[in-house]
Amino acid sequence: MRRFLISLIVIGVIAGGGYAAKRYLGGNGGSQIKTVTVVRGPLKMTVETTGTLTPLISVNVGCEVSGTVGELLADFNAQVKKGDVLAKLRPELFEADLAQAEANVASAKAQAEAAQVEVAKSKRQLEKVERLVERKAATSEELSVGREVLGAAEARLKSAKASIQGAEATRDLAKTKLERSVIYAPMDGIVLSRLIDVGQTVAAALTSPVLFIMAPNLDKMQVHANVSESDIGRVRVGQTSTFTVDAYPEREFKGEVVQVRNNPTTIQGVVTYTVVIEVDNRARLLKPGMTANVTIEVASRDKVLKVANSALRFRPPISAEQLLAVTNDLKWPQADASSPPAPSEAPGAADSAGSSAVLPRMQQVLWVQVGTDWKPVPVVLGITDNRETEVLSGLEEGAVCVTSYQAPERGFSFKEALKNANPGNRSL
């Protein structure tokens, strides 16, 4: 039994030593270096933000007169037709004002009739005086008095007629107020909100109070998304969009950008712009006010070279001076002619998403495996989905890039690998 235990210990020591030798001495350091391969495939660049769902059109239904709500004939979510009665104010005061105005019209007409009679009487008197003057039976002074009396009567008649017009205008206003005390639906649609109750007083002295909020329908809705100033240059009308809402976290809704507004919104120094996305809501799942987590597709590529972003973040374990010595004489490649041009290079060029958005194009150094050694390779990069990035030029499919390196206690040395790949650099 003792010999068996000793044999097991010896076998364990041998196995552990073999593993250590493989880890620290074999190859290029084993698990000390992690890599990714440049591959070809589809890539989409997106802008992510949040927004709020709103109806395509919403109308505030107000009241033009002041009064007390006497009757409500529509409530939340009510489907109404144009001209349907939504609410009524108590009509007693309006009816009393109309009756008073009609009485004033009748009084003004009576005064006008009296003035008309007086004018007729003054005309007859003047005609009589004129005949007496012709027969030398009346003086010219009496004729002048007769004319003055007629003129005064005619002036009173004009005043009476003007009073009639004023009284009729007041009556028409009272009638209009009575009619406006009934609130009608301005269109076919749905009542989104009711802001009044029976017995509530509404005052229209300065502004028209809002009683209801209506929308034609909810079959189409909009998402008003807030896009930061750093991303707004990539958003264009016609781009596709997807979003989710908390009510249906596992369901993805689709929309299309229909407007990019120029008016900025600044909150605590952060500038955003409103992007309007139109959404089909015939299923009636979406409701006004929901918060949407929006993803706007600003560019799409079908078959491009791409590399994981972890390779872009890698920095070798050497000093800044050594890094400069290695990369100082690198020549930057030109972008592949077959790759979609950046708008800054070809104004008006459109990507496959159908827009002329400002797409990224940057230069960076990737650390690539060449045989058993590693060397820095300058590349031109394009769009990214925050996980992978397009390689426009500098690398070929299948190239192996470093993503992380952990120095072993002995064995593989990153510096030695760089010296082998760059024998002219003695500063390493």
- For 179-218, the pLDDT digits (tens) are 999 999 999 999 999 999 999 999 987 788 999 999 998 9
- Count CA within 13 A, CB hemisphere, residue 371: 7
One domain for residues 316 and 406: yes
Query: Residue 385: which domain range?
Result: 29-47+301-421
One domain for residues 35 and 99: no
Residue 297 tokens, joined: 């597709």
For residue 423, what pLDDT is reported? 53
The helix (run of H) or strand (run of E) holding residue 148 is helix 140-180
One domain for residues 319 and 403: yes
Question: Is the sign of the CA dihedral 372, 378, 381, 387 positive or negative?
Answer: positive
Phi, psi of 347 (to 5 degrees): -55, 135
Report the alpha-carbon distance of residue 47 to residue 26 in Å, rounded: 45
One domain for residues 127 and 35: no
Report the alpha-carbon distance of residue 381 to residue 377 in Å, rounded: 12
Q: Which residues contact 388 (CB under 8 A, 6 or more apart)?
A: 43, 306, 307, 308, 309
pLDDT (tens digit per residue) in 234-275: 999 999 999 999 999 999 999 999 999 999 999 999 999 999
Instruction: Give a yes or no: residue 55 inside a domain.
Output: no
For the entire predicted model, the pTM comes to 0.69
For residue 61, what pLDDT is reported? 95
**CATH number (domain holding residue 138):** 1.10.287
Instruction: Give the end of a domain, one of 133, 160, 180.
Output: 180
Report the alpha-carbon distance of residue 292 to residue 338 in Å, rounded: 37
Q: Is 189 left (phi over 0), alpha (psi -120 to 50) or beta?
A: left
Please provide the distance, in angstroms rounded to a whole number, between the alpha carbons at the two ends of the chain. 56
Phi, psi of 111 (to 5 degrees): -65, -35
How many domains does the chain divide into?
A: 2
Instruction: Give a yes or no: residue 324 inside a domain.
Output: yes
One domain for residues 305 and 367: yes
For residue 415, what pLDDT is reported? 64
Instruction: Give the end of a domain, one of 180, 204, 238.
Output: 180
For 38-104, strand residue ranges (E) read 39-55, 59-62, 67-72, 79-80, 85-89
One domain for residues 38 and 107: no
Burial track 221-234 (b if 16+ CB lie within 10 A, e otherwise): bbbbbbbeeebbeb
For residue 369, what pLDDT is reported? 84
Instruction: Give a yes or no: residue 229 inside a domain.
Output: no
Instruction: Give a yes or no: residue 170 inside a domain.
Output: yes
Q: Which residues contact 297 (CB under 8 A, 6 or more apart)?
A: 44, 45, 46, 239, 240, 241, 242, 353
Instruction: Give a yes or no: residue 254 inside a domain.
Output: no
For residue 371, what pLDDT is reported? 76
For residue 324, what pLDDT is reported? 81
Instruction: Give a yes or no: residue 378 inside a domain.
Output: yes
**Which residues of the chain carry a pLDDT beneath 70?**
1-31, 335-358, 407-428
3-state helix vs strand vs coil in the chain, percent to 5? 30, 35, 35
Question: Hey, what's the torsion of the CAs at 378, 384, 385, 387, to 10 degrees?
Answer: 10
Closest CA to 45 of 240, 298, 307: 298
Instruction: Give the end of a domain, one of 132, 163, 180.
Output: 180
Report the alpha-carbon distance of residue 312 to residue 384 in Å, rounded: 11
Phi, psi of 344 (to 5 degrees): -65, -25
Q: How many CB atoms lie within 10 A of CB 354?
A: 13
Instruction: Give a yes or no: residue 43 inside a domain.
Output: yes
One domain for residues 123 and 36: no
Instruction: Give a yes or no: residue 296 inside a domain.
Output: no
Report the alpha-carbon distance of residue 379 to residue 341 in Å, rounded: 16
